[in-house]
Structure formats: C-alpha cells, structure tokens
Homo-oligomer: A and B are copies of this chain.
Amino acid sequence: AMEKSYMSMFLLLVAISCALAKDEAKKETKETTAKPKLPQTLSRGWGDQLIWTQTYEEALFRSKNSNKPLMIIHHLDDCPHSQALKKAFAESKDVQKLAEKFILLNLVYETTDKNLAPDGQYVPRILFIDPSLTVRADITGRYSNRLYAYEPTDISLLHSNMQKALKLLKTEL
C-alpha cells in the first residue's frame, strides 16, 4: 500500500502538463502580430501525411458518416509538454499508421463543448469520440489528476488506447 501511494504521488508529479489552454492562448495571441511560418498546415506537425480535419463540426460529421472514431488532440505551440508529445507522436510509425483509421483533429483553441474537457482544459490532452458521438471518457492515460494527458514515454499506452477506441461502442453492444 505504501509503495502504491508513492507511485501515485510520482505519477501526479510527473503529470506537469501546461496551464489552462485559455490562458496560454491569450499569451499566444499577443505574439502573433508577426507573420507565421508558412505554410500553416492542418497537421501542425502531428503527422503531415495524415488527413486532418479543420474544425470540431467537420470532425463530428466525418466520424459519424465514415463510422471511424474521432481522435482529438488539444495542444499549444508554446507548451513544451505538447511539443514533446507531438514529436513522439509524429515519429512513431505505429501510431502514425494506426492514426489513419481515425478521423483526426488537433486544436490549439478549446471548443465550447464541455464534453471535451471531462477533467479540465489542460494540454496536451487526447480524447476519443465514438462514431455514435459518445466521448470515450473511459479511455485514459496514466495520470490520475489529468486523465487524458500523455507524456512522450506513454506512446505505447496511447497506441493501445487507440486500438481500444477502434473497437466501436456499437459493435460491443
């Protein structure tokens, strides 16, 4: 029991993800009077060979229509945890390959849908949505205080969570 509680504390301390997306976004906005690095892509570095949707509405529509689960990655350009996860995500051949089976969306601004923030608006944060448009709140990472956060070392857990998300809710019933 002692060992387990040390472990929990460890995981809690590790999960230093970035501040509220809203606050970070505010900071970012002030810095964007300069020209962006062109071209601005929908992938934003999470996999240039993958097909990315632009908006949440588009992603929901495509998920429902294609019967593919939706994977939503909330991140921020000036968050080192987001950047590190992005690098691991983009460099993992297994993850990139499996990602082709998803409708994909990466967002630097929060939507107004509170279902996308079951335990807060931190980044990085990865959520899966079933084509029946149900948020898969049951698919979580390693950190009890930020259930949908992943560190670069969690890539294989993320991969197995992606596999879990591909088993659609409908077919399970």
Contact = CB atoms under 8 A, between A and B. Distances in A.
Given A39-B41, A55-B54, A29 B111 contact: no
Given A41-B40, A66-B29, A109 B51 contact: no
A114 interface: no
A17 interface: no
Contact of A54 (B38, B61, B108, B112): B108
A155 interface: no
A168 to B, nearest CB: 18
**Number of copies of this protein chain within its complex:** 2
Interface in A19-46: 25-26, 29-30, 32, 35-36, 38-43
B38 A49 contact: yes
A25 B61 contact: yes
Decide if the interface of chain A is mainly helix, strand, loop or mixed: loop
Given A43-B40, A48-B38, A29 B65 contact: yes
Interface in A47-101: 48-49, 51-52, 54-58, 61-62, 65-66
Interface of A: 25-26, 29-30, 32, 35-36, 38-43, 48-49, 51-52, 54-58, 61-62, 65-66, 107-112
